[in-house]
Structure 1
Amino acid sequence: MSHPSQSSQFALLRQRRFGPFFWTQFLGAFNDNLFKTALLVVLTYDALSWTTLAPSLLNNLIPGLFILPYVVFSATAGQIADKVEKGRLARWVKSLEIVIMMVAAVGWYTHTLWLLIVAVAGMGVHSTLFGPVKYAYLPQHLKPEELVGGNGVIEMGTFVGILLGEVMGAVLAGHGDLGVHLVAGGTIVVAVLGLMTSSRIPASPAPAPDLVISKNPIAESLRNLGYSRRNRTVFLSMLGNSWFWFYGALVLSQFPLYAKDYLHGDHSVFVLLLTIFSLGIGAGSLLCEKLSGRKVEIGLVPFGAIGLSLFGIDLYFASLAYTNTAAVDFLGLLAQHGTWRILLDLLLLGVFGGFFIVPLFALIQTRCDPKHVSRTIAGMNILNALFMVAAAGVAVFLIGQGFSIPEMFLTTALLNAVVAIYIFSLVPEFLMRFLAWLLIHTIHRVSTVDTDRIPEEGAAVLVCNHVSYVDAIVIMAASPRPIRFVMDHRIFKTPLLGFIFRTAKAIPIAPAKEDPWLMEKAFVDIAQALHEGELVCIFPEGKLTRTGEMNEFRGGITKIVERSKVPVIPMALRGLWGSVFSRDPSNVFERSFARGWRSRLALAVGRPVPPQEVTPEGLYDEVLALRGEWK
């Protein structure tokens, strides 16, 4: 979709409604990972001066202690975020971070491991409290068309913060006592910077200020998940999001040994792998806005799932093709045969991971109850934590069964394909939107005119000229929300298009002389859909044009608005006549080559017509004027 007048998503960083919040969450992600990575590196390479516990035990204990608060306290954190103004809550959380890092500093300076362990758990609590704020804040301050771009920038910032924190933690921890002292002081400085940026976060009124916070976090967690399950699409999107964290945790946890035992690299090779993957996530997250046309485009989710499986499988074969056995640093690795294929697979895993996760976040934010956003995000954090714990369990099981690390990559990629097929079969809207997105981004270039006139909520009837077999798909791809199309019942019998429209819950209709019962049932279904606040689209001509000119509009639209007093929005498709999908009588091959690849289309949307002013003749004139001479 073309939106030439709209500014880049990075322009949000200069605005107070977004910039201070972005830097607050970025610094938090950076500090978390600077602290955790430094501690893990110190305990791996200098364990004896700190403890008699085995490094392997500590390497599993420390991440576990960080995740544990997510499982136990996420539901309570969600309640707090719905009850308390978010700017004030962010400042409380950042003040807590300063206290935690001061406790950690004492542990660093005195070599007191249990203080550092307490700080790890404390940072887990800090992140648990901030998690619901992070994603519930955005819908309050961003316009719907900014939400995908804003989420993309936040995801990019989160992963860049994680990457920089891990790299900095690893580098400083490798410099002995000086490095440890720099970590101790540096984490306090970053926490103070976080408090300073949070002080500029604008007020975000609490959606449920009278909420009574439950004193039983476990019971509240179960209640929270139970509430989220009422909205099936949102709950399955939460599961999809958690599956991504399962996938990421299972793959990323193998990077250290993969770098050491399979690539024969030193620590810099591990950092390189992490960097490439994180840059991919950031790039994919930012690309989502461009690929989605600045709206919540869940069609990108299946696209992301396909990439996660394809490049996970190729990573297995690329790993088998790597033959180097000499020890190398990251520069030496780049000179080895087969390295660039491995790095490209990791980069594209990250890119397609971004395509997968950003639209899911935006969908959850826009489809759940506005008064329950924070608690919904908290429920998702609980699921994320459980899935990450499950990923660790699956990794231990696979290693116990003798799986190599490349075989674990392959297993994860194949599991992803199975899970994706299962989720998309439960919510076919994902797959349907993907097919629509694919059509308008491969075969055609679609521009839109005034699509913001399609209401973001509430019932309305859309009427449009009928030029081709893919009219509904083009309209569907341009709309910010699902549409119930009224379609000729014969289209439901065509293999691919029939599947798409049945999936979209289209309403089949037949002429009265052919099937009067089906015709009457269609009008009943239309009235029910409008009563439930849905969008319904009809093609009043009743048939595809055979000449490129519009046919007379029939009287069905009058019958619809007599039953349901809703506005009618005229629309016009331009540029589809003569395409392979139209009924142009000329030679199909000649017109396909004449139009060229990615031919131009447009969808123009007119002003809503009040129900009392609707007539077939008036709507015909409106649509004809919108279409103009471009058929």
Structure 2
Amino acid sequence: MLNALGLLTRRRFLPLFVTQFLGAFNDNLFKTSMVLFATYTIFNDAHQEANFNALATGLSIVPFVLLSALSGQLADSHDKARIIRLVKTAEIAIMAVGATGLFIAQAGYTSAGLALMLGTVLALGVHSTFFGPIKYAILPQHLGTDDVLGGTGLVEAGTYLAILLGTVTAGWISVEGAGIAVLAVAALGWVTGRMVPPAPRAGPPLKVNYNPFTASWRLIAATLHIRRLFLAIIAISFFWSIGSMLIIIFPPLVKNVLTADKEVASLAIATFSVGVAIGSVVINTLLKGEISARYAPASVIAMGASVVLFSLLSRHWTPAPAGTLYTWLTFLHEPRAIGILLALLAIAVFGGMFVVPLYAFLTTTVEKDQTARTVAANNIVNCAAMTIGSAVVLGISSFGVTPQDMLFVVAAMCLVSAWLAYKLHRACDEPCAAVRK
């Protein structure tokens, strides 16, 4: 990974890295500001908070399901850099709507403000749908084969570091400050997006299918019949269904179980983001640039064990006095606080070690003119899995199951992910290594 850091000096990589970093930061800054504002200021009921988080998650997922096939086709049939410029221009308009929602909700018009904010979440989902395939699919065009895993790891690590910064910022600045910040970052992302070198169509002309349903079906069918891609996509999808469940569980858990304020909720999400970034670095170092799933089964089993540990520690947490919440300082002084944060960090580190090589599989085992569509097919299946994960949380919570108990469901899903990763390792690593030689 240390060698991969040299990619940050390359004109063909740095603008893309900065642009995706700013996009991830801005997306997370807005969403976290909105969720924390709703959780700690607007709502005062754990069930309502969980439902709002699930609704926001669902709205951000819908565009991936409906538009990923179109985004993949456009990215494979047009200059990817040009699409980046269009998408970053749209981000400025989207954040203008979101900032307005934050401002008027803070002024007391909560219904109208929430409507605008949720509309912004939906629009940001569209933004990410069109940008997501490009940030991975463009790498084989701009980088050599030996640099693709390093570039993928840097993009993944950068994404989660951006999430970290966006999360921390959201927890510490005012609602008005968040509204101003998202507009400024969107403008900066527009500037860096214009510096990404051209990445024209790499194959023959492609007839674009604009019907989202038939296009999605054909895209998935054309991808999933390849065994190694099927296993990689399904394993990644299980990972993101786990992630969607954790995203929904964490804010109410921090407020109602750990009885801590929004700065602590921000700290918890930030710790998770740091962990994924560390995991991205660690797995690239272990594999020394080789694209392989051999560490994935052990990584996700360790992730599941860490989830169980996190649940057990939270069960023995001493709540704050009635009517109060721990601040980040008083939280850190509690005996089990460091253990909880370390367990959360371990969940993320092992998660990063699991998922990064699988993304590298998507972009290196197909022709360059098919990479964006492959990533798009992955996004569709991922989002279907995330939707199921969100529905599972809502369904289980409706029966009065506590967040700590729901974490055991997450741990069980990690075992399924380990089995899929083992199947991928057996199906691909030895044959792919022979092909690469």
TM-score by length of 2: 0.89
Partner in structure 2 of residue 482 of structure 1: 433
Letter in 1 for 2:330: G
- 1:464-475 → structure 2 map (5 Å cutoff): none
- Secondary structure (helix, strand or coil) at the match of 2:138 reads helix
Letter in 1 for 2:122: A
CA distance in 1, matches of 2:336, 2:42: 35
Partner in structure 2 of residue 316 of structure 1: 311
Q: Compared with structure 1, are the counterparts of its residues 94 and 426 closer, same or farther at alpha carbon in structure 2 (3 Å cutoff)?
A: closer
Q: Compared with structure 1, are the counterparts of its residues 40 and 10 closer, same or farther at alpha carbon in structure 2 (3 Å cutoff)?
A: same
1:26 to 17, 21, 32: 21
CA contact (8 A) 2:141 2:368 kept: no
Structure 1 residue 534: Cα displacement: 8.5
Structure 1 residue 228: Cα displacement: 0.7
Mean alpha-carbon deviation: is it higher for 145-154 or for 160-169? 160-169
- Secondary structure (helix, strand or coil) at the match of 2:199 reads coil
CA contact (8 A) 2:296 2:422 kept: no
Structure 1 residue 427: Cα displacement: 5.6
Letter in 1 for 2:170: G
Structure 1 residue 9: Cα displacement: 1.6
Partner in structure 2 of residue 122 of structure 1: 123
CA distance in 1, matches of 2:2, 2:400: 52
Could you list the runs of 5+ residues in structure 2 that have no partner in the other structure? 106-111
Q: Which has the higher contact order (CA 8 A, sep 6+)?
A: 2
- Secondary structure (helix, strand or coil) at the match of 2:309 reads helix
2:351 to 341, 350, 353: 353
CA contact (8 A) 2:69 2:377 kept: yes
**Higher helix proportion (structure 1 or 2):** 2
Partner in structure 2 of residue 437 of structure 1: none
Confirm whether residue 68 of structure 1 aligns to residue 19 of structure 2. Answer: no
Partner in structure 2 of residue 290 of structure 1: 285
Mean alpha-carbon deviation: is it higher for 120-129 or for 419-428? 419-428
Partner in structure 2 of residue 511 of structure 1: none
CA distance in 1, matches of 2:360, 2:150: 10
CA contact (8 A) 2:94 2:120 kept: yes
CA distance in 2, matches of 1:7, 1:110: 46
Partner in structure 2 of residue 82 of structure 1: 76
Partner in structure 1 of residue 169 of structure 2: 168
Q: Compared with structure 1, are the counterparts of its residues 23 and 425 closer, same or farther at alpha carbon in structure 2 (3 Å cutoff)?
A: closer
CA distance in 2, matches of 1:37, 1:325: 23
Could you list the runs of 5+ residues in structure 1 that have no partner in the other structure? 1-5, 49-53, 434-475, 484-532, 536-631
Letter in 1 for 2:258: L
- Secondary structure (helix, strand or coil) at the match of 2:200 reads coil
- 1:250-289 → structure 2 map (5 Å cutoff): 250-289=245-284
Structure 1 residue 331: Cα displacement: 2.1
CA distance in 2, matches of 1:247, 1:21: 28
CA distance in 2, matches of 1:10, 1:209: 34
CA-to-partner distance for each residue in 1:417-467, whole Å, 9 max, x for gaps?
13422553476247xx6xxxxxxxxxxxxxxxxxxxxxxxxxxxxxxxxxx
Partner in structure 1 of residue 366 of structure 2: 368
2:407 to 382, 406, 409: 409
Structure 1 residue 105: Cα displacement: 4.0
Structure 1 residue 307: Cα displacement: 1.3
Structure 1 residue 109: Cα displacement: 5.0
CA distance in 1, matches of 2:223, 2:350: 26
Structure 1 residue 115: Cα displacement: 3.9
State which structure, 1 or 2, has the greater radius of gyration over its C-alpha atoms: 1
- Secondary structure (helix, strand or coil) at the match of 2:291 reads coil
CA distance in 1, matches of 2:193, 2:224: 33
Structure 1 residue 401: Cα displacement: 3.5
Q: Compared with structure 1, are the counterparts of its residues 89 and 280 closer, same or farther at alpha carbon in structure 2 (3 Å cutoff)?
A: same
Structure 1 residue 368: Cα displacement: 2.2
CA contact (8 A) 2:232 2:424 kept: no
Letter in 2 for 1:394: V
Letter in 2 for 1:203: P
Mean alpha-carbon deviation: is it higher for 161-170 or for 68-77? 161-170
CA distance in 2, matches of 1:148, 1:275: 24
Q: Compared with structure 1, are the counterparts of its residues 418 and 164 closer, same or farther at alpha carbon in structure 2 (3 Å cutoff)?
A: same
Partner in structure 1 of residue 109 of structure 2: none
CA contact (8 A) 1:313 1:414 kept: no
Structure 1 residue 226: Cα displacement: 0.3
Structure 1 residue 38: Cα displacement: 2.3
Structure 1 residue 284: Cα displacement: 0.5
Structure 1 residue 230: Cα displacement: 2.0
CA distance in 2, matches of 1:188, 1:299: 43
CA-to-partner distance for each residue in 1:257-294, whole Å, 9 max, x for gaps?
22122222222221221121111101001112211012
Confirm whether residue 207 of structure 1 aligns to residue 202 of structure 2. Answer: yes
Structure 1 residue 251: Cα displacement: 1.9
Letter in 2 for 1:16: R
Q: Compared with structure 1, are the counterparts of its residues 427 and 420 closer, same or farther at alpha carbon in structure 2 (3 Å cutoff)?
A: same
- 1:350-499 → structure 2 map (5 Å cutoff): 350-422=348-420, 424-425=422-423, 428-429=426-427, 481-483=432-434
Structure 1 residue 59: Cα displacement: 3.6
Confirm whether residue 240 of structure 1 aligns to residue 235 of structure 2. Answer: yes
Letter in 2 for 1:145: D
Identity of aligned residues (%): 35
CA distance in 1, matches of 2:396, 2:170: 30
CA distance in 2, matches of 1:56, 1:313: 21
CA contact (8 A) 2:50 2:248 kept: no
CA distance in 1, matches of 2:381, 2:319: 40
Letter in 1 for 2:358: L
CA distance in 1, matches of 2:222, 2:260: 48
CA-to-partner distance for each residue in 1:55-87, whole Å, 9 max, x for gaps?
665443333222211111011000010011111
